[in-house]
Amino acid sequence: MPGRYLIGVDVGTGSARAGVFDGAGRMLASAKADVTIWHGPGAMVEQSSAQIWDAVCQSVRAAVAHAGIDPAAVAGIGFDATCSLVVLGPGGTPLPVGPSEDPARDIIVWMDHRATDQAARINATGHAVLTYVGGVISPEMETPKLLWLRENRPQVFDAAWQFFDLADYLTWRASGSLARSVCTLTCKWTYLAHESRWDAGYFHAIGLGVLADERFARIGCEVVNPGTALGAGLTAGAAGDLGLAPGTPVAAGMIDAHAGGIGTVGATGADATENMGYVFGTSSCTMTTTADPVFVPGVWGPYFAAMLPGAWLNEGGQSAAGAAIDQLLALHPATPAARVDAAAAGQPLPVWLADQVVARVTGLSDAAALAGGLHVVPEFLGNRAPFADSHARAIIAGLGMDSDRDSLIRLYIAGLCGIGYGLRQIIATQAAHGAPVKRIMISGGAGQHDLVRQILADATGLPVVATAAAEPVLLGSAMLGAVAGGLFPALAGAMAAMSAPERSFAPAGGAIAQRHASRFAAFEQLQQVARSIRSEG
């Protein structure tokens, strides 16, 4: 039957993934293709838009083949991606964004911190626009990066035909439409969605007035809601690349974390304002919905209609989450041997370690005791929220000279607890400013193990709910495709019909809760000491 299936595409930091779903949200097949990433010099991190598109096409073709469906039966396709900056010249030719001078390297990746100085100078203006990014703009956002380009690579900035958020690049590549998603522009570009406008004064104040003078033609004149059908659907060229039918509806996309949000926050059937979406991947992102705007210092937003139509969004998170665990483990002398064992078991090292922990404890909540006196503040890439401190760095306290596997497990557990305590800070800060939540809806590759979910529940004191969807981020993008393809008139209907809860992990009480309260107090004390030392240095 035509129009029966949906495709969701998710471009994360290290891979492109595609999933084929039916209208009830069941995933029939998925596929993945790695994407290249270049690190350095310094804080620079770059990628290639052409290589990412190739990875998208590879994953879509493979997923459709695995599902065994007729490509003509696809009702719609949706895209999500990291909030990375794509720079294209006339005709869509890639432009080099860094000193490599390699035009293939035309993306400044979300985690790139080259624009730290530019972000500081933008924040020093105190412009009213900053009120809608928690009061402090991050170097991970796009206007600091654009300013860096203008100041450090003016020839590239001047030659650019379009500056895209990666999700908008993908929908342009698929449909030929230059329309931007209100999700990307509001969350990362300072578009004021509640007023349906850019603030020209802001761009003039920070040194990007040329974009305002051009009536924002290079960053987005047409702004649409996620799920809006773009252009005439897949162009003939894009359809050929993807192995799909020309004209297949293409949905306006989303930032990857926000796709995970819509793939999870509607699953319980409760008011979405009760549920915090928590996407735990390379980084983590928290998404809290409110009926009215809530201003939380250090938490991005409030953003109007950035995730759910007609609602406000506060977005926090941790710049390094899964990546922080990887970095932490890489520091330990027992890791090389453990990697061999994990590879033999066909598992990533963190998953293998989680299984080792489960085998050693009576209940999942007992795992935190294995950390002993070891404490980790895993802020390797700064504190995104609630302190908006890009200069913060990780702390490990209580480390001895042990080099065996038991000490590796202790470090792993201490790191997971540290991730949980950072999340606890965000939840508490938002609640203090009028945005409380009752439960955490988890998604993302780093949050799929039951041990991780239970530790997060215990560390935060809130239930953690896992949805029936194995890949809720892909499901969120498929929901966008469902709206664009007309299977549902609005996103709320797609969320209600295509997602459902599967398991809930309740926080432990008693002595376990007290242990986490004590460890959380130590976590905050370590943060304070680190800030004090840095200010004195």
Confidence category of residue 304, pLDDT binned at 50, 70, 90? very high
Residues 176 and 281 in one domain: no
Domain boundary among 191, 222, 255: 255
Domain boundary among 191, 223, 255: 255
**What pLDDT does residue 268 have?**
80
**What pLDDT does residue 2 have?**
45
Residues 98 and 211 in one domain: yes
Residue at 492 is within a domain: no
Residue at 447 is within a domain: no
Mean pLDDT in residue range 114-135: 96
Closest CA to 442 of 308, 322, 292: 322
Tokens coding 263: 């793939």
pLDDT at 308 over 80: yes
Tokens coding 504: 């809930």
Q: What is the mean pLDDT of the chain?
A: 95
Number of domains present in the structure of the chain? 2
DSSP element (H, E) containing 505: strand 501-505
Mean pLDDT in residue range 103-115: 97
Residues 126 and 197 in one domain: yes
Residues 405 and 289 in one domain: yes
Instruction: Please give the Cα distance from 151 to 209 (Å, whole number).
Output: 13
Instruction: Please give the Cα distance from 343 to 335 (Å, whole number).
Output: 12
pLDDT at 390 over 90: no
Mean pLDDT in residue range 37-66: 97
Return the HEC string of 62-86. Answer: HHHHHHCCCHHHEEEEEEEECCCEE
CATH code of residue 220: 3.30.420.40
Number of neighbouring beta carbons within 10 Å of residue 330: 11
Residues 205 and 274 in one domain: no
> In degrees to the nearest 10, what's the CA dihedral of 290, 293, 299, 300?
100
pLDDT at 27 over 70: yes
Residues 74 and 201 in one domain: yes
**What pLDDT does residue 188 have?**
97
Residues 183 and 296 in one domain: no
Mean pLDDT in residue range 500-508: 95
Residue at 37 is within a domain: yes
Mean pLDDT in residue range 273-301: 93
With b meaning 16 or more CB within 10 Å and e meaning fewer, what string describes 387-401?
bbbbebebbbeebee
Instruction: Please give the Cα distance from 281 to 444 (Å, whole number).
Output: 5
CA count, 13 A, side-chain hemisphere, 440: 32
> What does 315-380 look like in DSSP terms, one character per residue?
EEEESSSHHHHHHHHHTSTTHHHHHHHHHHTT--HHHHHHHHHHTT-SSGGGGGGGGTT-EEE--T
pLDDT at 449 over 80: yes
Residues 521 and 397 in one domain: yes
Confidence category of residue 470, pLDDT binned at 50, 70, 90? confident
pLDDT at 416 over 90: yes
**What pLDDT does residue 201 have?**
98
Per the structure, the complete domain to which residue 46 belongs is given by: 5-255
Domain boundary among 210, 237, 255: 255
Mean pLDDT in residue range 200-205: 98
Confidence category of residue 210, pLDDT binned at 50, 70, 90? very high
Give the 3-state secondary structure of residue 20: strand
Amino acid at 327: Q
Residues 279 and 422 in one domain: yes
Mean pLDDT in residue range 81-100: 97
Residues 118 and 192 in one domain: yes
pLDDT at 176 over 90: yes
**What pLDDT does residue 271 have?**
85
Out of 109-118, 191-200, 230-239, 260-269, least confident range: 260-269
**Backbone phi, then psi, for 207, in 5-degree steps?**
100, 15
Number of neighbouring beta carbons within 10 Å of residue 244: 23
pLDDT at 249 over 90: yes
Residues 240 and 372 in one domain: no
pLDDT at 1 over 80: no
**What pLDDT does residue 388 have?**
86
Mean pLDDT in residue range 223-248: 98
**What pLDDT does residue 218 have?**
98
Mean pLDDT in residue range 211-234: 98
> pTM of the full predicted structure?
0.90
Mean pLDDT in residue range 480-496: 95
